[in-house]
A = this chain, B = another copy of it.
Amino acid sequence: MSDSFQDALAGLAAIVGDKHVIAPGSDQESYVVDWRGRYQGRAAAVVKPGSTAEVAAVVKFCGARQLAIVPQGGNTGMCGAATPDDRPGNVVIRLDRMRAVRDVSPLADTITVEAGCILADVQNAARAADRYFPLSLGAEGSCQIGGNISTNAGGTAVLRYGPTRDLVLGLEVVLADGRVFNGLRALRKDNTGYALKQLFIGAEGTLGIVTAAVLKLFAPPRSSALALLKLQGVEQALEIMQRLRGTVGDRLGSLEIMSRSQIEAIAETVPHVTIPFELTTPWYLIVEVTDTLAGVDLDEALATVLGEAMEAGLAEDVILASNLAQAKAIWAVRHSVSEGNKRSGYVVSHDSVVPLERQAVFVTNVEARIKAAVPHANVVMHGHIGDGNIHVIALIDRARCQDPAATAALVTEINEIVDDETAAQGGAISAEHGIGITNRGRLARVTDPNDIELMRDIKRLFDPNGLMNPGKIFGAGAA
């Protein structure tokens, strides 16, 4: 390590304390590789500031020395947005020590948290006050709320509560020059000028570092009912969705769809999950309805509308969960998709979103085109059909992925099929995972050059020296 990096370590230690700076070596390993092991970077230091003032001081320190800053939450992202690149002068900033729940207000239905707070801890703090924080996703036990905000995370509750953006009332952000944007306000409405906070939500740490947030809480669901439906196709799922809207109205909580191939991949590779129903149709739909009132009989309402759907030939079978254990067993299948896919082969995953009514044709076209181009690919699908967001995943035998160049070419071929079809249906290539490293080339390929130019202008405005999470969203040399 060069002298200048030794000096940097000492300087950073002076700000955050010796034991909160990790020098290059094995202790850094979990911070410079993304969780899927696809991206391996380097860092002069990993630092763990203990306060917003320390974050700002670290950012100023890095700015003065032209060290790149890589904000990292729980390192559970899907696109490598929190992994440093391979330049030696990266400084990874982790907010693990800033994990306080500062305030819960049941009256105002708000919670104020520091950015390093684990998502599950936010959920639990809300629950302890008899309130509900709806953001829920597979990594909730280790992802941090600052990372959720910076990726505008989605998950299984978007249909009813919206993505993370819709849950954020106030934000505190350390900017690239070390100034602090103090928008940490618990206000339900605010029309005092431009919506600056919105820029930082989903910006993947490229415009600043989120250090704290005021989030919305809700009345907790106190009654619920869940059913699993066996379907012939996505169009049937959409028709059932419309019937549900007409009958259970805004009690509709989740609508999660899986292809038969998706469930088979789980059944074959995830030993601790049992599929609690027979696989007899091409598609499976989880319907969950919830009510904020206790004692509402949703089972009967759900059974009625789904029974009618069956009679109308829209569903082949309906399994109503008769108790919490059954409901959990069905959700366990849905929550195992990432694990099952990872165990089944090399994962080429997609996060497209299209207008709701285009989902059936999108899925049909994409599957046919991938199978024609790559006959050995196993195409599995799962997603949030009420959001227009079906993840199309090609699983490739790992034995065929030994050559990196050939694998990269294969991935590009599949990506381009999905992206072209997404664009043809008026969609976007990322619904909820973001851009990071993985999708930056694809973003550039399918996005209106005007939009890219506007985004680069914003990036230059907030980060003129290009030190804030460089190489993410735009690719290298963006700023």
Contact = CB atoms under 8 A, between A and B. Distances in A.
B431 A191 contact: yes
A191 to B, nearest CB: 5
Contact of A165 (B195, B443, B455): B195
B387 A189 contact: yes
Contacts of A198: 195, 198-199
Interface stretch (A1-9, A17-25, A33-41, A354-362): A354-362
Contacts of A162: 166
A431 to B, nearest CB: 4
Given A166-B166, A195-B201, A245-B219, A190 B431 contact: yes
Nearest to A179: B450
Nearest to A431: B189
B473 A189 contact: no
Contacts of A387: 188-189
Contact of A353 (B106, B109, B187, B354): B187
B451 A189 contact: no
A356 B105 contact: yes
A306 interface: no
Interface stretch (A137-145, A277-285, A421-429): A421-429
B191 A202 contact: yes
Nearest to A356: B108
Contacts of A83: none
A195 B427 CA distance: 16
A165 B162 CA distance: 13
Contacts of A151: 191
Interface in A201-231: 201-203, 207, 218-219, 222
Contact of A186 (B186, B201, B426, B435): B426
A356 B447 contact: no
A194 B458 CA distance: 9
A476 interface: no
Interface stretch (A59-67, A246-254, A410-418): A246-254
Contacts of A443: 192-193
Contacts of A251: 292
A219 B430 contact: no
A452 B457 CA distance: 19
A238 interface: yes
A211 to B, nearest CB: 15
A196 interface: yes
Nearest to A159: B188
Contacts of A473: 193-194
A203 to B, nearest CB: 6
A154 interface: yes
A432 B106 contact: no
Given A107-B242, A250-B218, A195 B190 contact: no
Given A250-B292, A291-B249, A387-B188, A182 B356 contact: no
A158 interface: yes
A428 B190 contact: yes
A292 B433 contact: no
Interface of A: 105-110, 151-152, 154, 158, 162-163, 165-166, 179-183, 185-196, 198-199, 201-203, 207, 218-219, 222, 238, 241-242, 245-251, 291-293, 351, 353-357, 384, 386-389, 426-435, 443, 447-448, 450-452, 454-455, 457-459, 461, 473
Shortest 5 CB-CB distances between A and B: which pairs? A249-B292, A198-B198, A108-B356, A189-B431, A188-B387
Given A194-B203, A219-B245, A219-B250, 20 more contacts: A107-B241, A158-B189, A166-B166, A183-B451, A187-B354, A187-B428, A188-B356, A188-B386, A189-B353, A189-B431, A191-B428, A191-B430, A191-B431, A191-B434, A193-B452, A194-B459, A198-B198, A199-B199, A247-B293, A250-B250
